Structure 1
């Protein structure tokens, strides 16, 4: 029988397993994390762990989905959505780029790509839980900024996606092709500041 994301069951120790897995994955990454270490960190037996997650990839993506939701909430809670666009975009871009260039963020991307043919629901669930929510929130902010006369955007969803791509310029391709392994804070600031200036030159009033 083929295992899918939908077959993962939840029970009394589900959150306990998830937290143990989060600790191990964040410390050791997907490849370095062993089932034994995860079970030990979660204080459950391997049998209990497998009863919830028959495949380590599903466990990783459940952790990734939960972490992405937390990152989105933290970003939205910490950013003053009443501020002027340059400030909102600067904070949003820095938060976004820090996450996707982190070791954990890169691993999420690689797992989604590697398993997209066999398990397309992995990436779909992850996208729906975090990126799609944040995308909608930013589109709503753009609508508010337009109402205040600060931006002029015809296609808000496209504008959100364009800003995201601007924030990935230079650093993301170098990471994905193995040209570098670490992105510095100075590099993140440089790319995001350039992204904000480019975006405002197109959509600012």
Structure 2
């Protein structure tokens, strides 16, 4: 049984370990984050850390899952689904685009691609906290507008997935490949506007 297949074991200092790991991963990235430093920041011994997470990849995947859920919950709390559909889609696209361009979003994607072949369980965890989460939350956003006749969507999963993929555009790939290290607000606005216009052109009533 691989480390990835091992179940996460929770204990008294579990949240303490996650808080320390989140701080270090967000500051140093996956490669730069050492287990020694995570244990130091978390205020626990390496033995305690390893008792919960036998592999750094597993620890990162749990931090990523919680961070993605935190951002998704934060976004859902701010959306007003009584606003015009174009306004809400614009807000959703803006958040998703910025996440894809963030250092954390890029780290999650790179690790998933690099490690999923050897550790399928890791890929499954990242998928659940990434594409599957976007699909679930976008479906919840879109459904009220379908009910009110403002959108016409027969395949909700496909439409929600398409929205997420549109948000990647070329900005995500350029950042991922190191072609551009900075993205201007004008570039983000251009992509976000294009996402909303294309989505509404396909699914607007």
TM-score range, shorter chain: over 0.9
Distance in 2 (alpha carbons) for counterparts of 1:36 and 1:136 = 36
1:2 CA drift (Å): 2.1
Query: What TM-score do you get using the length of structure 2 for normalisation?
Result: 0.93
Distance in 2 (alpha carbons) for counterparts of 1:75 and 1:61 = 21
Distance in 1 (alpha carbons) for counterparts of 2:71 and 2:140 = 18
Q: Within 5 Å, which residues of 2 pair with 1:131-170?
A: 131-170=131-170
Distance in 2 (alpha carbons) for counterparts of 1:102 and 1:137 = 20
> How big is each residue's C-alpha offset from its partner over 1:80-116, in whole Å with a ceiling of 9 and x where there is no partner?
1222210111000111111121001100011111111
Give structure 1 stretches of 5+ with no counterpart. none
Distance in 2 (alpha carbons) for counterparts of 1:14 and 1:152 = 45
1:12 aligns with 2:12: yes
> How big is each residue's C-alpha offset from its partner over 1:32-78, in whole Å with a ceiling of 9 and x where there is no partner?
11111111110011111111112111111111111011011011111
How has the CA–CA distance of structure 1 residues 105 and 5 changed in structure 2, closer, same or farther, with 3 Å as cutoff? farther
Contact kept, 8 Å, 1:84 with 1:150, in 2: the verdict is no
Aligned to 2:181: 181
Distance in 1 (alpha carbons) for counterparts of 2:59 and 2:92 = 28
Aligned to 1:34: 34
1:130 CA drift (Å): 5.0
Query: What TM-score do you get using the length of structure 1 for normalisation?
Result: 0.93
Q: Number of residues paired by the alignment?
A: 205
Distance in 1 (alpha carbons) for counterparts of 2:170 and 2:4 = 35
Aligned to 2:44: 44
Aligned partner of residue 182 in structure 1, secondary structure: coil
How has the CA–CA distance of structure 1 residues 110 and 67 changed in structure 2, closer, same or farther, with 3 Å as cutoff? same
How has the CA–CA distance of structure 1 residues 8 and 36 changed in structure 2, closer, same or farther, with 3 Å as cutoff? same
1:153 CA drift (Å): 1.6
Q: Within 5 Å, which residues of 2 pair with 1:59-74?
A: 59-74=59-74
Distance in 2 (alpha carbons) for counterparts of 1:167 and 1:137 = 15
Distance in 1 (alpha carbons) for counterparts of 2:15 and 2:33 = 18
Root mean square deviation, CA, Å: 1.5
Give structure 2 stretches of 5+ with no counterpart. none
